[in-house]
Structure 1
Amino acid sequence: MNIQVRSGDTLWYYSNLFNVSLQLILDSNQQVDPSGLMIGQTIKIPGYQTTTYTIQRGDTFWKIASQRRLAVDALALLNPGINPRQLQIGQTIRIPVRVTYRVVDGNQPYDYQLLLRDLNDLTDIYPFVRTETIGKSVMGKDLTELQIGRGNKIVHWNGAFHGNEWITTAVIMQFLNDYLLALTNKETIRGLDIRPYYDQVTVSIVPMVDPDGVDLSLNGPPEGRFGEEALRINNGSTDFSGWKANIRGVDLNNQYPAKWDVEAARKPKEPAPRDFPGYQPLTEPEAVAMAELAGKRQFEKMLAFHTQGEVIYWGYEGLEPPRAFTIVQEFQRVSGYEPIRYVDSYAGYKDWFVKVYRRPGFTVELGQGVNPLPLSQFDEIYQETLGIFLASLYM
């Protein structure tokens, strides 16, 4: 919600007027000098939207404010050209509305266009969320990273490394919405006060690593050469629901130089709907963008969300730090997922992250069954994963 500065206003006053953390207001207006506000300057108030109201007979600012549990000055601030003592029937005013509800509904087929819509809505309501384009997919779609928080400890989550695992993006985005709601409404999640973690932790999120693969899995082949090549790779079948790779038929989670040669020797030798590791490591722009992001951000820990199996892979060649075991035990406690230290599978993002940075990295396999997992599992998966998201902040 945008407001305009009046004479004598301060950000501290807005914080009290709307009952929003001053730090969240400061972080939503990073280009503003809080000690030198100028009359007419636009200020963003996080956690609010506006609605319009048509004046009825007997209405006053005081009555409207009382009915909506608002301060009268909040109405005056949003309606600077209106004299509250001379309201006219039929006149339209703006009313601030605190957002206390989700705008993200993860329980639906979650493609790239839905992600963009939700990202736009969330960053509009919560302007303290920072976004950065870290690269582009093969087809030129933006790969978006979000950052929330002020802490030096950077915790990273990512989803949809595989096209047919798009439900992981939906889970991440719904939790992100709940996290932002808790911050702006001063609420807890499962009894945990998350406001201190905003100051202690910066959360880095890439909700959809493989947008081309997700769209292909959900919506079928696009027009043009990429769609034609995908059809050829898929042996002419128009059923792409099980497609795991990117649009070029490369498995992005087999693209990393962590025993890549072992995987290449036993996996498909040419582009395929799943498991082809590429002709060499880091050939695909999506995989390269994620590798560069890890180097730039220096994550304290990393969680890659996949499906399925209800297990958490947490080791690589004995290079994982001892604290990784403590962390994964907490993940198990809050989710019921089984920790597995080693598995005969390599060249994944988690493997490479542990190998290069010697920091805790986890591949979290959500749900049970055959990919793509049905949306009938969404609510259960979300509740299981909720504890993992929270534990990654405090562990």
Structure 2
Amino acid sequence: MPQIAPEAEFRAVYEAWSAGRLTRADAATKLDMCERTFSRYVSRFRENGSQWWQDRAGHRVSRRRASDEELATLIGLYASQYPGWAVRHFYDRYRREHGGSRSYTWVKDALQRAGLVERRARDAASKRRRKERTPIGRKPREGMLVHQVASRREWVAGHRCDLIVTVDDASNRVCSGFLVAARGIWSVLGGIRETLDQGLFDSLHLHMALPSRLSPEETVFGGHTKSQLERVMKELGIEVCYSDPALRTRPMRVIGSLQRRLPRELAAAAIVEVDLANRYLSRYWTRFNHSFGRLPTDASSAFVPLTVRNREKLRDVLCLKHEIGVHNGHQVLCEGKPLDVAEQVRQQLHASENYRIHEYENGDCALFNGRCRVMAMKKADHRLALP
């Protein structure tokens, strides 16, 4: 038996219902619709006849259909200003910068039909691995776990540098991000300092390779990177773990998104200096978090706001600390090495006391005796004696 066309099927059911051979419920069931929809179809069919059914079937051109000019403008915009951009990245710019109103699917299909974007077919093995992957649950609240990761590449044209990014686990939101010439203890502490603007957090996952010893560019006193970092975390009351394989996936996905997007964003903004790029990043993270952030399971936050007094003490926590002592009444030792100090500093030292030097990121230092700050020290006031 030949298949009945939709209009003919509706007309046959309508005539049977009009003749009383079918109830309204039976007629709606035969057409796979509810009774209210069947009643609306009947009233419109009585008013307009077959013309209404043809319009409903899609023979009428949609009022939302894009014109040829709009389609040509979209294709020209992508080809001239954003060649090679991912569709999702281009779509964000299309909506934000150019006032576009079309959906993501419409934009993607238009670019694919024009041959500007390739159609990617995921193979069966990739789909199977994706289904078999066991995702690690996120923390329910912001501030419970923070990831810090670094990536070295040519982020700015002509400048190969490190991008230090600090990401919250629960919301996938970037709390801090900046470019430095080379990663080190000060870049790690800088990311922690910017994250602490929101408050103290519970734990830090540090996913980056750091030198075992502090470099001469970082400090003149030497020392071990890990011991200094763990001392800072202990004073802040924050747990720290290093490159946990179970936690690496999430921050690496954020870095992957930034590697695809950020160099193109900086190039589109005509930025060729690292300092200008850092100024741009301070505004860029809001847009990035809007695109890639998510709502945590628990709306409450685990960040504990710092008091004014704690903020004042933060500078003497996020620094390098070196124990010094006076040997034989006159020789000053730091980390077991002789230390030459200015005469005005030497006058403040006594053999029976324990002293500590706080070294700050700008190179200045301060001399402490316990909790008491004895005096400030400039770079010229000290240097390690050569053995």
TM-score interval (norm. to shorter): under 0.3
Q: Under a length normalisation based on structure 2, what TM-score does the superposition of the two structures give?
A: 0.25
Bigger Rg over Cα: 2
Q: Under a length normalisation based on structure 1, what TM-score does the superposition of the two structures give?
A: 0.25
